[in-house]
Amino acid sequence: MHHILLRIGDFTLYTYSVLLALAVLAGLSVSVWAGKRASLRPEHVADAVVLALLAGTVGARAEYVLLNSEYFREQPAAVWQVWQGGLAFHGGLGFALLAVLAYAHFRRMPFWTLADALALGMALSVAVGWMACLFGGYAYGQMGTGLLYFNWHDIFGVTANRFAVQPLGAILNLVLFLELLLLALRKPPLPSGVTCIAFLFFSGLVHFGLGFWRGDDTLWFGSWRIDQWLALGQVALAVALAAYRAITLKSRPRAGL
């Protein structure tokens, strides 16, 4: 398997695009399954996933374009060429969360229950998405030698010995998905919101750590990349949501009182 999976005439099928589609299907399937276990209607969960996907794509592309504004000023038509890659995680996550919150309010669905189902699917999608980045050459690692360095190309087609950021990201997010799955299957069930908040917290830590070995260009603030600062913001958001959720659960009246 390589960067271009299939080419027929003017039609080119990129490995990145295929893996990204698989990530969406895997996340959708898992989210619908998790929603059914929580007594949510499958069509409503599927609608929420599609809405989150659309909003997330807009947010992810917007962040990527902003972080690479010099290139897109010279190539403005490339802004809309999403099929060739170029999606940033935190912009997509933020827009997706807002979309799910709005949808839950519109449908009068329990937000935390819906968020748990979608977080479980997103964890798997992110794992597959890192493999898409591997074959597309995105989020490539720093050049060097040693353990976890391997010969691979970047987005520009330059092959060099690079740190295995993408495979490591895929493995760590797959482990996170399995851990969240165990939480979802726990008996008795945990309060709603735990799966979503756990995903936000640990996903943020993973992306923050991986940033130390990434070699792709981005903005820097001090000694850290912009995506690392955003990952820390994600962790802080998870902590704030955990505190808020604990307070709201504690303030609920007990049965019979």
Query: Is 147 buried (19+), middle (13-18) or exposed (0-12) by CB count in 10 A?
Result: exposed
Residue type present at position 42: P
Task: Collapse the DSSP code of 141 into the 3-class scheme (helix H, G, I; strand E, B; otherwise coil) and give the result.
Answer: strand
Cβ contacts of 95 within 8 Å, gap of 6 or more: 55, 56, 58, 59, 60, 62
The token pair at 135 is: 């074959």
Q: Is residue 7 part of a domain?
A: no
Pairing of strands 159-163, 220-221: unpaired
**Position 105 pLDDT exceeds 60:** yes
b/e map 206-244, b = 16+ CB within 10 Å: bbbebbebbebeeeeeeeebbbbbbbbebbebbeebbee
Q: Is residue 4 part of a domain?
A: no
Residue type present at position 136: G
Q: Is residue 113 part of a domain?
A: yes
Overall domain count for the chain: 1
For residues 3 and 13, give the distance between their C-alpha atoms in angstroms, rounded to a whole number. 9
Q: What does the pLDDT look like over 153-189, one tens digit per residue?
A: 998 889 999 999 999 999 999 999 999 999 999 988 8
Q: What does the pLDDT look like over 126-163, one tens digit per residue?
A: 999 999 999 989 899 999 999 999 999 998 889 999 99
- Report which of residues 181 and 75 the model is more confident about: 181
Q: Is residue 220 part of a domain?
A: yes
Mean pLDDT of the chain: 88
Residues spanned by the domain of 211: 15-250
Q: Is residue 8 part of a domain?
A: no
pLDDT on residue 256: 38
Q: Is residue 119 part of a domain?
A: yes
Do residues 45 and 197 touch, judged by C-beta distance below 8 A?
Answer: no
The token pair at 245 is: 């959720």
pLDDT on residue 118: 96
Question: Which residues are bridge partners to 226 per DSSP?
Answer: none
Q: Is residue 256 part of a domain?
A: no
Q: Is residue 9 part of a domain?
A: no
> Which residue from 123, 57, 117 is spatially nearest to 91, judged by alpha carbons?
57
